């Protein structure tokens, strides 16, 4: 094919997509522009188009590879991979630890953790942390992410209907837990935030709802 043929816009878009694929935690518009040698306004337009078509996903000011790429490749998206950049943005937004909780072996297991960028006292969850399913926001919301089951705690139906739950001091003294179910995935899961500040817990409710919407379903 002669050099003059082809689409420069398409080639630039593919270059942006390749760059995003190298950074699972996502990149800002400025970082993509610098890496691809493009003007920031051009990069912004390309990213908007990639998000609109599902080839990229936006979380806060960061962009990552979207589900359409995996669909084209015939690869199902992994929940943890999709959730990680969303949780990172959530932790930055509310200045509290955010995590993904999955139902594993009868426990609420922490499988992704995002810490806020600022220093200071806070509750932190380590990867692999296991909590009961019938207490604490994360476990209750994870159970609520799926259809009703015989013998599930009565509170789960309330969480399923409300779409979010806030608890206080159920697992850790003084800790507020705020969580929302992540629906539509093969595993029961929830986005969970833990904080000692009542004001942060209140702010986190709508922020978590938005995070769950961004994660979506496969």
pLDDT, tens only, 128-163:
889 999 999 999 999 999 999 888 889 999 999 999
Domains of the chain, first to last: 8-73 (1.10.10.10), 79-215 (3.30.450.40)
pLDDT band at 1 (very low <50, low <70, confident <90, very high): very low
pLDDT above 50 for 206:
yes
Mean confidence (pLDDT) of the chain: 88
DSSP 100-112: EEEEETTEEEEEE
pLDDT band at 13 (very low <50, low <70, confident <90, very high): very high
Candidate from 2-11, 123-132, 189-198 with smallest mean pLDDT: 2-11
pLDDT above 70 for 4:
no
pLDDT of residue 94: 94
Candidate from 69-78, 110-119, 139-148 with smallest mean pLDDT: 69-78
- Span 53-67, average pLDDT: 82
* pTM recorded for the entire structure: 0.66
pLDDT of residue 135: 92
pLDDT band at 121 (very low <50, low <70, confident <90, very high): low
């Amino acid at each position: 094919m002669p050099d003059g043929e082809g689409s420069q816009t398409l080639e630039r878009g593919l270059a942006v997509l390749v760059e995003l694929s190298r950074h699972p935690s996502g990149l800002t518009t400025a970082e993509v522009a610098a890496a691809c040698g493009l003007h920031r306004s051009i990069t912004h337009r390309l990213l908007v188009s990639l998000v609109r078509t599902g080839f990229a996903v936006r979380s806060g000011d960061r962009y990552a590879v979207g589900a359409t790429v995996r669909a084209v490749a015939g690869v199902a998206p992994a929940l943890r991979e999709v959730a990680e950049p969303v949780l990172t943005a959530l932790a930055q937004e509310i200045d509290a630890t955010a995590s993904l909780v999955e139902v594993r072996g009868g426990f609420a297991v922490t499988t992704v953790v995002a810490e806020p960028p600022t220093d200071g006292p806070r509750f932190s969850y380590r990867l692999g942390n296991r909590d009961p399913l019938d207490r604490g926001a994360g476990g209750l919301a994870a159970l609520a992410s799926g259809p009703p089951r015989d013998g599930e705690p009565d509170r789960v139906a309330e969480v399923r209907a409300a779409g979010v739950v806030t608890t206080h001091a159920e697992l850790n003294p003084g800790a507020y837990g705020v969580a929302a179910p992540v629906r539509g995935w093969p595993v029961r899961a929830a986005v969970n935030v833990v904080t000692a500040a009542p004001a942060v817990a209140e702010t986190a409710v709508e922020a978590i709802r938005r995070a769950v919407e961004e994660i979506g379903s496969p």
